[in-house]
Structure formats: C-alpha cells, structure tokens
C-alpha cells in the first residue's frame, strides 16, 4: 500500500479525487493510503439529518456519500483515507472497520492513551476521568444472542477522539477515519457529533498529551499499514 502525505488540502477536491481514484482503478491498481488535514468543514453522511446541524455559521457543509451522520474536520486533526480493494485483501466490510479502529487504538497506545470501542457506535472513545486507564468499559461491544437487538450507545464518562465513516464501491473503500490531535474543538459544539446529542469530543491535547500533527500522522499511517495488510 502506497502512503501519500497530502498536507492540508480542501475537503471537496479530496472527496472528488477519492471518487475518481475508486471509479478508475482496476483489479491491478495498488492500494493507497492518503494522510491529510482539512480546512474547517462540516461533512454530512448519507444518513445525515439537518437537525443535527445546530449552528454551522460560516463553516461550509458538504454533503457526501459516506455512511453516518454529520462530523467536523479542521486543522490539527489527522485524516486518513484508506483506498483498499477488499476483495483482493481478503476481508469484508465489518472486518475493515474493525481493523481501522484497531489502528487508531494502537496509535493512541503509542502515546499511553487507552482507546475504547462502544457498542453500537463506530469510532474510538477515551475515558474523560482517566484516559490512560486500561479498565474495560461496561459499554464495550459484547457477544449478543441470536436475534438480540443492538444496545443503545452509552457515552457516559466518555469523549470521542476519532470518528469513522466509509464508502464501499465495487469492493473498494474510500473515505476513512479522523483522529483529533490538537485542534479547535468549538465547532463540534455546533453539531450533534455523529448524530448524538451532547456527545463530547476531545483531542490528544485536551487530555494532556502533547504530540505534533506530523508525529501522530506518522504513527497512524504506520498502524493502518500494518492492520490493513491482507
């Protein structure tokens, strides 16, 4: 997989480039991983509802074809777009999501932060009272009986540090994951992040971890390269 460091790039042009890359790729096209950050922008997923956009103000809103609801991208956030042929890699969409989340968890671990999954809510979360605690969350995904409904996500005591939204076309992925490093978090208060009212959003800086964007991007890129290998 070829990793491309794009720097800070406009969201809309990057979105169009991902679509073009995916539409034009063949069975022999090597997979790529794009690492970048974006100027301030709100993006709506296919399930996005207008009432989750509380007060966008001057920040543009872009409609997209990824899954999920509204989120925010801005400077100080590492955005990673894995462009993977799942058929060639040999795993399905659910495992792809798991692997991307695992890469984020391993990235946080490099900075002594414990990342957690929450049942029914994609993305990675940290304990607000102790981001370095290894104790298992009661809200973690657990085995369900056949036919049992998925639990309602419970974010009590948690802050979201990484958001995930993907699109799969002809077995190939685009869109990806955003890890908050050191950014202005105020715009998250203008939306219901990922469609959840009152969900707190954090970054590494606010939980006491001083790391540069470049270092976080390098570690996340390396972890994604490892976890997404066939």
User: Beta strands of 41-84 (E only): which ranges?
Assistant: 41-44, 61-63, 71-73, 77-83
Domain holding 33, by residue range, is 2-227
pLDDT-derived band at 194 (thresholds 50, 70, 90) equals confident
pLDDT-derived band at 98 (thresholds 50, 70, 90) equals very high
| Residue 76 scores a pLDDT above 90 | yes
Residue 170, SS3?
coil
How would you list the strands of the sheet with 41-44, edge to edge?
61-63, 41-44, 71-73
Taking residues 124-148, report their average pLDDT: 94
Give the pLDDT of residue 181.
Answer: 98
| Residue 149 scores a pLDDT above 90 | no
- Helix and strand element counts for the chain (H, E): 4, 10
pTM for the predicted model, two decimal places:
0.96
Domain count, the chain: 1
pLDDT-derived band at 150 (thresholds 50, 70, 90) equals confident
Instruction: Collect all residues with Cβ–Cβ distance below 8 Å to 145 and sequence separation of at least 6.
Output: none
Active site residues: 194
| Residue 106 scores a pLDDT above 90 | yes
Residue 189, SS3?
helix
| Residue 39 scores a pLDDT above 90 | yes
Which CATH number do you get for residue 105?
3.30.930.10
């Amino acid at each position: 997989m070829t990793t491309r460091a794009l720097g800070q790039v406009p969201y809309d042009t990057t979105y169009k480039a991902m679509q073009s890359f995916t539409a034009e790729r063949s069975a022999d096209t090597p997979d790529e991983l794009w690492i970048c950050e974006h100027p301030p922008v709100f993006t709506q997923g296919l399930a996005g509802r207008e009432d989750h956009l509380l007060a966008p103000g001057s920040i543009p809103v872009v409609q997209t074809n990824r899954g999920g609801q509204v989120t925010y991208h801005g400077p100080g956030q590492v955005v990673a777009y894995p462009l993977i042929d799942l058929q060639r890699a040999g795993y399905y969409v659910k495992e792809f999501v798991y692997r991307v989340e695992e890469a984020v968890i391993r990235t946080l671990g490099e900075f002594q932060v414990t990342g957690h999954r929450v049942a029914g809510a994609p993305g990675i979360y940290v304990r607000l009272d102790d981001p370095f605690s290894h104790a298992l969350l009661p809200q973690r995904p657990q085995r369900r009986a056949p036919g049992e409904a998925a639990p309602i996500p419970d974010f009590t005591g948690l802050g979201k540090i990484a958001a995930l939204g993907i699109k799969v076309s002809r077995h190939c992925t685009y869109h990806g994951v955003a890890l908050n490093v050191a950014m202005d978090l105020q715009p998250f208060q203008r939306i219901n992040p990922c469609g959840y009212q009152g969900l707190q959003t954090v970054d590494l800086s606010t939980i006491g971890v001083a790391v540069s964007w470049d270092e976080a991007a390098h570690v996340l890129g390396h972890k994604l390269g490892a976890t997404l290998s066939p």
